[in-house]
Structure 1
Amino acid sequence: MPEAFRSATDKAYDVLRTEHQPLKAIFTPKSVAVIGATDRVGSVGRTVLWNLISHSFGGTVFPVNPKRHSVLGIKAYPTIATVPEPVDLVIVVLPAPSVPDVIDECVEAGVKGAIIISAGFKESGQAGAALEAQILERARRGNLRIIGPNCLGVMNPLTGLNATFAGAMARPGNVGFISQSGALCTAILDWSLQENVGFSAFVSVGSMLDVGWGDLIDYLGDDPHTHSIVLYMEAIADARSFLSAAREVALTKPIIVIKAGRTAAAAKAATSHTGALAGSDVVLDAAFNRCGVLRVDTISDLFDMAEVLAKQRRPQGPCLTILTNAGGPGVLATDALIATGGELAELSERAIANLNQLLPAHWSHGNPIDILGDADPQRYASALDIAAQDPNSDGLLMILTPQAMTDPTQTAEQLKAYVEDRSEATQTASSKPKPILASWMGGADVAAGEAMLNQAGIPTYAYPDTAARVFSYMWRYSYNLRGLYETPTLAENADTESIDRPLVETIIQTARQAGRTLLTEVESKQILKAYGLPVVETGVAKTEEDAVQCAGAIGYPVVLKLLSQTITHKSDVGGVQLNLVDAAAVKKAYRTIAASVAALSPHPPFLPDPPTPFLGVTVQPMIKLDGYELIIGSSLDSQFGPVVLFGSGGQLVEVFEDRAIALPPLNTTLARRMMAQTHIYRALKGVRGRPPIDLAALEQLLVRFSQLVVEQRWIKEIDLNPLLARSQESSPFLALDARIVLHEPDVHLNELPKLAIRPYPSQYLSAWTLKNGTSITIRPIRPEDEPLMVQLHKTLSEQSVYFRYFHLIKLSQRTAHDRLTRLCFIDYDREMALVADYKHPDTGAHEMLAVARLSQLHGTREAEFALLVSDRYQCQGLGTELLKRLLQVGRDEQLEYIHAEILADNSAMQRVCEKLGFSLQLIEADIMKATIEVNQ
């Protein structure tokens, strides 16, 4: 949050967040004990102890070994309990079977951090997994946090802490590095020493028994010395924790990840088109996009991006201008740019005119801008100035090849001076400087120029295609972050009272009680219709006569489809008969479907009382396919739970694989971005004279579908295929077929997969009445509430602003988009904001009367609250009611304490706190601290 917006409460939150950070004992310990320290040459216990004592970290080291009086000349102790001083961090290098008892002793001794380097746990089988379970259970008794087991350890190069068995110490720097592979850690360490790359933290996480990705990202996000975070990942583990932490931190610090296993074959689901398409690696990409993490393919990209995102401003679009003194490198850069999703900027007429005046007549007259091999430093600088001012350009790549007239060092000096001048000129301007990358090609001849550019904050690359790929990554990162906080439109169907949830529950429970996992097409369509999703009219016929009667009622021509509780892909078994124009055709089609099913292989004899595959047919109108066939679906991912799919549908859906994956829940912005990832999206916008589809309505449909997925957890897989999209119809969308698969009957409610992103907490939505009789709704905040928040701030007096922020802040600053989107688009797993929503009975317009916020401190069971009430609605009991509800949220989330800092002059807020049981304490001359133990 910008400094201007920060109240004393906000700043106190930062202090608490840092001081209470549970991983502080691991990264900045004042005392360390090595349990299993030994003198034996070549042992891990000796190496770890030597690394600790040979690099001063400002603390004390205690060897623990019951068989030794001293280790490496340092007094040893038989147990952790006999160490004469409190120990912050223990490093365990004992055999796996003895580790649970050691953890017990550490908990008794009050140790807060442990690194278990020992191997032989879950990677070795069930016995090792059982040991891990024991360790975790015992650690939880004392809030002991553990990194590992089976890890290299932890380095804090800034303090000198080397709690690893690596052969060298990392250089200090501003990159936080976390790896699941200890072997890769040592390789990266060797590389970094050669390339002079420095780290603020260097962490091997091993099996991630306790401390996981989310914990470490939170810690490095709070660490002021860490400017960027890079991850080598093999598995996600706790998906929700990772996504929550990454989404919060990515706004202020870039997070770059390389994930192993991109080409591993994805598991295919036999019952669902969606399951067949939603491979785990595609889902992982969707998850990274959702939380603003940048995924790269190579280790060099990992650190290239950490450097460039720390040095350069992010591009606002995908269009790059390439400026070069040689045509070939420009072409190579162009190929790399297009292949990785970037675009060449189209030079504006003004830019071309200015370049015509500057450059020789035979310059390239386009982008890449070839300023020719005889370009001197001044020509480079002048051409750069023109290209930088082109509004069509989002970034610049300068390529230099050493030729007869080239002066790499002086050209770099010109570029450096230009960047410094532009930076000073734009500090107070509304326009932002564009990112500039450079490729100084060559060896010794360009080394001095490269060094000069790097010192000026301009990243340099030996090859222009590398630089172009880096720009594409920069744009992808910028695009992902922008999507996190674009304000969506309020869904037209946001009011969910119209959903027939009892009908859905009856259908699902009836099928489960019958031992079925596959719903019939009719049942599936009933569920869709209950959620307001458009489905084609469908009748059921169990005889030929029923089919004829149903067809007559619907109107010819009609379609007959197999009705079955066991056969999922009807067309594969001859179970679909199209374009039936009269009763005779309907009868013949009915008999054909029945005969096709009868000809199938019988059920296995060992299945008792198998369900009948033929229950009759469904009858529906023959819909002319004069639009686009789409698919919308959901299936389960092993790491992220339910995922949503959108793309081109029809019978060849698996062949074309034109699809996009997203994590539910969706809003309209996320739905549009998901659609935009597909090829069919271009057609939906209108192509070759065909009018566009109602994309806004399609967004709403996807939002409502994701709501179904979020709420109906017994559904394992669901397909709407095809979903017909038409541009000139009263009903632009129509689901012609639907398939729903439930979880197996032996699955219990607590075993159902958890959503990776916590959905809207509707349990905190309810009506309430002000003292003056005004009826309002108190509900959790939504991303769509930004306009209402703007209006709320317009109603605040200077006193209300002062009491909330502890100083006056301009309205324009309080209502800045970048600020309000972060306040409205929150992670319900980490904070809760309740708003008082008044709906005008005549106009239907909404007004936000107040907002109350509860923010949990990282890694603790404590939270801070803040409260803001419109002046017109103060003294109506609203503040008390909102704070009372926040206390209930705290109880539900198992918090221990809730507190806030309040100005001593703010007597009204103090009275509210006292009424609800808070204790008040004067902590500064003009500040009171309110604290309550939540579950007392």
Structure 2
Amino acid sequence: MKDLTGLFNPKSVAVVGASSQEEKVGYIITDNLKKCGFKGDIYPINTKADGELLGLPAYKSVLDIPGDVDLAVMSIPAKFMNSALEECGQKGIKNVIVITAGFKEVGGEGVKLEQEMAEIANKYDMNVQGPNCLGSIDTHTPMNASFAQMMPKPGNIAFVSQSGAMTVAILDWSISEGIGFSKVVSLGNKVDISEIDVIEQLADDENTDVILCYLEGISDGERFLEVMKRVTKIKPVVILKSGSSSAGARAVSSHTGALAGNDSTFDAAFENCGVMRARSMQDLFDYGSAFSNSDLPKGKRIAVITNAGGGGVLTADKIEDIGLELADLSDETIEKLQEVIPSEGSVQNPIDVLGDAAPQRYEDTLDIVLAEDDIDSVIIMACPTASYKPHEVGEAIVQAKKKSDKPIMVVNMGGPSFVEENKVLRDNHISTFVFPETAVKALGALERYETIRSEDQESCIDKITDVDKDKAARIIADAKAKGRDALLGSEAYQVADAYGISAAPIVLATTKEEAGEAAEQMGFPVVLKIASDKILHKTDIGGVVVNVTTKEEAEQTFEKIMANAKKAHPDVVPDGVEVQKMMPNGHEVLIGMLRDDQFGPIIGFGMGGVYVNLINDVCFKLGSGISDEVIDDQINSTKISKLLKGYRGEKPSDIDSVKDTLKRVTKLTLDFPEIKELDINPVFVYEEGSSALDIKIKL
């Protein structure tokens, strides 16, 4: 673990590239350090320095500074950067922020310069942030080692961003919203310090309660998972990952040189390690606000208090939509509400206090609701009626909140009418929203994190021991020795059999006689298909024949398939023809694996068959550390699961056999990193048991 204390809480800072010209970045950084209240020494560095800069003694080089330096902030042209960084190393400066752009994000010479920078950082054991970044801010030190226009107010939210432009936009927005930050860190190109290093440091930061990140790529998948699993048990980590579309992925590559991963992969990885994923900037900071202001709910049950019936209905719809619950009120609570709410209102949940509700009615209603044991959190929603008193209602909510630790979200559906009330609420650490949907989503994030924090799932893969790893290894090694990057169907069947995966028997025949004998031995009917890793679309060339019912037909079909293959691909010598037992129809599911370079096997499950791409009913989970609970969730999140459980009078299928196959596929792909892709489509699922039909394994 890197020690980044000197990056956020230095006793002295050197600004390399400090300037007396106000439009220069070096001037802004030095001025920001002076104005923010930084209590340590500030050393402006400029090769043309003569006396002072911005009222501070200036030096031509960091080597000329008489004392020790904890942090250097560097803003000089890229071509001079590495020689200046070398001087920092010689000076013994352990923490460096490189503001300057012009490195790997521009390609060419920039890539080489950044590689040299990494070598210098490693040589002197320096922590280097950037290049191509905005800098860092710590509001509690205080220190503003950035070229942002303003210093945010102190708070308990840490914001880590790979985009400097995104950071300055958020800082500007936070001022108007009254949001405070503990630390703001712009990562840039991540030549040395990564998001993982910063988050690991923030886990132990007493001033940070929630960590928000905007990221365009992950530096080290394996370490990311390891660190996040530990950090998310301590405090919530919410990440907005860009590059989810193909257009977005291209934009990421040209922006910082980061490579955007497959979006489903990131979903699976984040879920695996407890990271909460935001889908928009709005989500990111709504969640951050909720986590910074609220205790965690003890359950899913929500009470809604509103002065407008329509808003209450919208809120109830969203609560159900995201898997929360509209709380049932006890008879005792309803009786108490009837004493404070006129008969024209509603004492059922959503609770309608009416448009003319005085502040005292809000406070009384909230007191009653918060005292109900079967309510875990509350959403208060208001429209600006003529009789509504925003400031007084805000004070009433604050008074009620002091008596309870249950989360309260306030939705003030309007603009200028609620400015004063929103300030009262935010000053007292109560989150406010403009629309009910965003408040419900924020509450959903709190509830999910409470589940994440309390989960202690045990991997179910280690329990599978009845496998023949050596047999599978021999088959894979043999295929690689023959120069093939894919297993034949018969080889894939043998690997599956070695790992206890139930599959339809398949045998490779190299002569028509072998085909006939194999078909007769396994029992009719059978399927015959051409065996070649170089012929991809076998059906299109007449390379697959189903429902072969006699030995003689099998021999004739062998010759026919070989002839079709030679005609379509005269340059290809097939390995033979595969004979496979035809299985009775069952519910068709897909089980597959794609290996991600960062996170390892990503296991897919969903509806199989010929329409798999059209219907796209597939859920992905990370293979590493997969548990029984995760597999249950994976299956239940698909539409095909409803058919497997028995639909409209059908008998349920053997879901346990599907779970067993998922576990065995996961173990196989964890045991053999050389397996790049595995696809079983379909797997027929029966009332008892299941059988894999078409197994593809790519190396």
Q: Distance in 2 between matches of 1:530 and 1:635?
A: 20
CA contact (8 A) 2:370 2:404 kept: no
Change (3 A) 1:291 1:589: same
CA contact (8 A) 1:489 1:669 kept: no
Query: What one-letter code is carried by the residue in structure 1 that aligns with 2:641?
Result: Y
Q: Distance in 1 between matches of 2:121 and 2:386?
A: 68
**Secondary structure of 1:313's match?**
coil
Q: Which residue of 1 aligns with 2:697?
A: 740
Change (3 A) 1:317 1:536: farther
**Secondary structure of 1:136's match?**
helix
Does 2:437 align with 1:465? yes
Query: What one-letter code is carried by the residue in structure 2 that aligns with 1:233?
Result: L
Q: Which residue of 1 aligns with 2:661?
A: 701
String of CA shifts for 1:183-207, please: whole Å, max 9, x gaps. 1222122212222222211111110
CA contact (8 A) 1:175 1:227 kept: yes
**Secondary structure of 2:88's match?**
helix
Change (3 A) 1:465 1:702: same
Tell me by how many angstroms 1:372 deviates: 4.2
Tell me by how many angstroms 1:116 deviates: 1.0
CA contact (8 A) 2:301 2:377 kept: yes
Tell me by how many angstroms 1:549 deviates: 2.0
Change (3 A) 1:679 1:467: same
TM-score where L is the length of structure 2: 0.89
Q: Which residue of 1 aligns with 2:684?
A: 724
Does 2:628 align with 1:668? yes
**Secondary structure of 2:282's match?**
helix
CA contact (8 A) 2:103 2:109 kept: yes
Tell me by how many angstroms 1:125 deviates: 1.5
CA contact (8 A) 1:686 1:692 kept: yes
Q: Which residue of 2 aligns with 1:212?
A: 194
Q: Which residue of 1 aligns with 2:254?
A: none
Tell me by how many angstroms 1:624 deviates: 1.2
String of CA shifts for 1:739-775, please: whole Å, max 9, x gaps. 0111xxxxxxxxxxxxxxxxxxxxxxxxxxxxxxxxx
Does 2:285 align with 1:303? yes
Query: What one-letter code is carried by the residue in structure 2 that aligns with 1:710?
Result: L
Structure 2 unaligned blocks of 5 or more: 250-259
String of CA shifts for 1:39-92, please: whole Å, max 9, x gaps. 344222222222223333111122233332234143333332222111111122
Q: Distance in 2 between matches of 1:196 and 1:306?
A: 13
Does 2:271 align with 1:289? yes
CA contact (8 A) 2:178 2:426 kept: no
CA contact (8 A) 1:351 1:386 kept: no
Tell me by how many angstroms 1:695 deviates: 4.1
Alignment of 1:710-789 (within 5 A): 710-727=670-687, 729=688, 732-742=689-699
Change (3 A) 1:652 1:589: farther
How big is the alpha-carbon RMSD for the aligned residues of Structure 1 and Structure 2?
3.1
Q: Which residue of 1 aligns with 2:256?
A: none
Q: Which residue of 2 aligns with 1:506?
A: 474
Query: What one-letter code is carried by the residue in structure 2 that aligns with 1:136?
Result: A
CA contact (8 A) 1:213 1:241 kept: no
| Partner of residue 534 from structure 1, selected from 491, 502, 525 | 502
| Partner of residue 561 from structure 1, selected from 526, 529, 553 | 529
Q: Which residue of 1 aligns with 2:87?
A: 105
CA contact (8 A) 2:6 2:71 kept: yes
| Partner of residue 56 from structure 1, selected from 31, 37, 43 | 37
Does 2:617 align with 1:646? no
Tell me by how many angstroms 1:705 deviates: 1.9
Tell me by how many angstroms 1:668 deviates: 1.9
Q: Which residue of 2 aligns with 1:786?
A: none
Does 2:141 align with 1:182? no
String of CA shifts for 1:852-905, please: whole Å, max 9, x gaps. xxxxxxxxxxxxxxxxxxxxxxxxxxxxxxxxxxxxxxxxxxxxxxxxxxxxxx
String of CA shifts for 1:414-457, please: whole Å, max 9, x gaps. 5444433344xxxxxxxxx4x33221334555455444444454
Q: Which residue of 2 aligns with 1:619?
A: 579
CA contact (8 A) 1:345 1:392 kept: no
String of CA shifts for 1:657-689, please: whole Å, max 9, x gaps. 111112222222232232233222333334333
Query: What one-letter code is carried by the residue in structure 1 that aligns with 2:645?
Result: K
Does 2:596 align with 1:637? yes
CA contact (8 A) 1:246 1:292 kept: yes
Q: Which residue of 2 aligns with 1:258?
A: 240
Change (3 A) 1:549 1:342: same
Q: Distance in 1 between matches of 2:304 and 2:567?
A: 65
Q: Distance in 2 between matches of 1:696 and 1:487?
A: 19
Q: Distance in 1 between matches of 2:605 and 2:371?
A: 39
Query: What one-letter code is carried by the residue in structure 2 that aligns with 1:127?
Result: E
**Between 66-75 and 503-512, the greater mean CA deviation after superposition:** 66-75
CA contact (8 A) 2:329 2:348 kept: no
Change (3 A) 1:407 1:154: closer
Q: Which residue of 2 aligns with 1:517?
A: 485
Q: Distance in 1 between matches of 2:373 and 2:558?
A: 64
**Secondary structure of 2:602's match?**
strand
Q: Distance in 1 between matches of 2:595 and 2:460?
A: 27
Change (3 A) 1:55 1:537: same
CA contact (8 A) 2:29 2:147 kept: yes
**Secondary structure of 1:550's match?**
helix
String of CA shifts for 1:229-268, please: whole Å, max 9, x gaps. 111111212223333332222222222222222232699x
Q: Which residue of 2 aligns with 1:239?
A: 221
Q: Which residue of 2 aligns with 1:196?
A: 178
Query: What one-letter code is carried by the residue in structure 1 that aligns with 2:661?
Result: L
Q: Distance in 2 between matches of 1:597 and 1:350?
A: 76
TM-score where L is the length of structure 1: 0.68
Q: Distance in 1 between matches of 2:628 and 2:172?
A: 47
| Partner of residue 594 from structure 1, selected from 549, 562, 570 | 562
Does 2:67 align with 1:85? yes
Q: Distance in 2 between matches of 1:388 and 1:579?
A: 67
CA contact (8 A) 2:631 2:659 kept: yes
Query: What one-letter code is carried by the residue in structure 2 that aligns with 1:46?
Result: Y
CA contact (8 A) 1:32 1:90 kept: yes
Does 2:678 align with 1:678? no
Alignment of 1:58-207 (within 5 A): 58-72=39-53, 73-207=55-189
CA contact (8 A) 2:591 2:606 kept: yes
**Secondary structure of 1:562's match?**
strand
**Secondary structure of 1:57's match?**
coil
String of CA shifts for 1:559-597, please: whole Å, max 9, x gaps. 223322223454454433333333454345435533442
Query: What one-letter code is carried by the residue in structure 1 that aligns with 2:463?
Result: A
Tell me by how many angstroms 1:500 deviates: 1.9
Alignment of 1:303-342 (within 5 A): 303-318=285-300, 320-337=302-319, 341-342=322-323
CA contact (8 A) 1:257 1:296 kept: yes
Change (3 A) 1:599 1:196: same
| Partner of residue 494 from structure 1, selected from 450, 463, 466 | 463
Tell me by how many angstroms 1:389 deviates: 6.8
Tell me by how many angstroms 1:411 deviates: 4.7
Alignment of 1:270-289 (within 5 A): 280-289=262-271
Q: Distance in 2 between matches of 1:69 and 1:261?
A: 47
Q: Distance in 2 between matches of 1:473 and 1:586?
A: 59
CA contact (8 A) 1:344 1:367 kept: no
Tell me by how many angstroms 1:150 deviates: 1.1
Structure 1 unaligned blocks of 5 or more: 1-16, 268-277, 424-432, 604-610, 743-936
CA contact (8 A) 1:37 1:49 kept: yes
Query: What one-letter code is carried by the residue in structure 1 that aligns with 2:691?
Result: L
Q: Which residue of 2 aligns with 1:832?
A: none
Change (3 A) 1:318 1:356: closer
Q: Distance in 1 between matches of 2:635 and 2:263?
A: 19
Change (3 A) 1:71 1:45: farther
Q: Distance in 2 between matches of 1:659 and 1:128?
A: 41
